[in-house]
């Protein structure tokens, strides 16, 4: 039986537990939803918006504070991911979408994650962050009991992020990230290298033959 009826906010992103998400609320239905959450001190669910609907697994968000209000009712808010959920059934009785959800956490994992794999994933995070010139990636909380969600903030592929969110073992997520980061860093370095080879005016010329 589902645990709760949760207001849902479909977005083009994936939120992880204990990570931050600033939002600008401008649609009327979501102004209503956020104000109701504020009044009742309730969380709401962030779910990935897909081409043919929404993902079945999301992460709830708690509103930390309202940073700005506008005359027309728009809001800027800061939120933090709280707990993962799976949608059992959708509810459309309100102007915004809601879902009957079941909250879940990781399954018991009898095999501890090897330290070498953890260190590889952490190093990969910082390698990606070093390549993100002009983009601010946060310092991960390395003491988080689900470190993988902290490190996954460096992942830009929403489908891979969704896969991580749905995974129910920390060791499985760390393994995926340890494999993902080096490949992504190498790809980003190649892209940057090719960018430096392209003339700035958009025209190429052949080098004279010797």
Residue spans per domain, the chain: 4-104, 115-197
Best CA proximity match to 61, nearest among 33, 96, 90, 95: 33
Question: What pLDDT was estimated at residue 202?
Answer: 52
Show the low-confidence residues of the chain (pLDDT under 50): 203-207, 209-210
Question: What pLDDT was estimated at residue 64?
Answer: 98
Report the alpha-carbon distance of residue 131 to residue 20 in Å, rounded.
Answer: 21
Report the alpha-carbon distance of residue 153 to residue 133 in Å, rounded.
Answer: 16
203, burial (CB in 10 Å: exposed 0-12, middle 13-18, buried 19+): exposed
Question: What pLDDT was estimated at residue 113?
Answer: 92
pTM of the model: 0.88
Q: Which CATH superfamily is domain 4-104 in?
A: LON domain-like (2.30.130.40)
Best CA proximity match to 138, nearest among 151, 122, 157, 156: 151
Question: What pLDDT was estimated at residue 209?
Answer: 46
């Amino acid at each position: 039986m589902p645990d709760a009826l949760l207001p849902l906010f479909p977005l083009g992103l994936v939120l992880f537990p204990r990570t931050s998400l600033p939002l600008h609320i401008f649609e009327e239905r979501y102004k209503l939803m956020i104000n109701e959450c504020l009044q009742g001190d309730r969380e709401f669910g962030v779910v990935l918006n897909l081409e043919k609907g929404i993902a079945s697994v999301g992460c709830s968000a708690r509103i930390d504070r309202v940073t700005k209000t506008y005359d027309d009712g728009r809001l800027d808010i800061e939120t933090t991911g709280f707990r993962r959920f799976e949608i059992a059934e959708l509810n459309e009785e309100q102007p915004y979408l809601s879902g009957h959800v079941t909250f879940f956490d990781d399954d018991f994992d009898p095999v501890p994650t090897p330290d070498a794999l953890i260190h590889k994933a952490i190093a990969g995070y910082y390698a990606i962050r070093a390549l993100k010139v002009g983009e601010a990636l946060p310092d991960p909380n390395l003491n988080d009991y689900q470190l993988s969600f902290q490190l996954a903030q460096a992942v830009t592929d929403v489908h891979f992020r969704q896969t991580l969110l749905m995974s129910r073992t920390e060791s499985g997520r760390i393994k995926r990230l340890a494999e993902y980061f080096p490949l992504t860093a190498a790809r980003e370095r190649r892209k940057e290298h090719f960018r430096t080879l392209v003339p700035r005016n958009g025209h190429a010329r052949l080098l004279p033959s010797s």
